[in-house]
A = this chain, B = another copy of it.
């Protein structure tokens, strides 16, 4: 889960995930959307793969990347849970700033 958030910390990687939302894309297809050298992108793919956010599949000479949505979902809803956001219908509890008793 830590790897997921580390992976999400980079805007290029978030953008890659967005692109993959539409369907699998080859490394080259993705690279076309960026102003980065291909090795740089390849590094980003590796980070996403290690976080299990994408799957890789070779088809001949090209490698396709596919978004692993469930991992992303799980990480995000896991965080939301741990922060008390969302699913629960509990009203937002924003305690006042009170000087703690001894």
Contact residues of A with B, CB < 8 Å? 2, 5-6, 8-9, 11, 14, 17-18, 21-24, 57, 59, 64, 66-67, 69, 72-73, 76, 79-80, 82-87, 91-92, 94-95, 97-99
B24 touching A95, Cβ below 8 Å: yes
Residues of B within 8 A of A2 (CB): 11
When all copies of this chain in the complex are counted, the total is 2
Given contacts A2-B11, A5-B14, A76-B80, contact A69 B85 (CB under 8 A): yes
B21 touching A97, Cβ below 8 Å: no
Residues of B within 8 A of A73 (CB): 85-86
Residues of B within 8 A of A83 (CB): 17-18, 21, 67, 69, 72
Q: Nearest-CB distance from A67 to chain B (Å)? A: 8
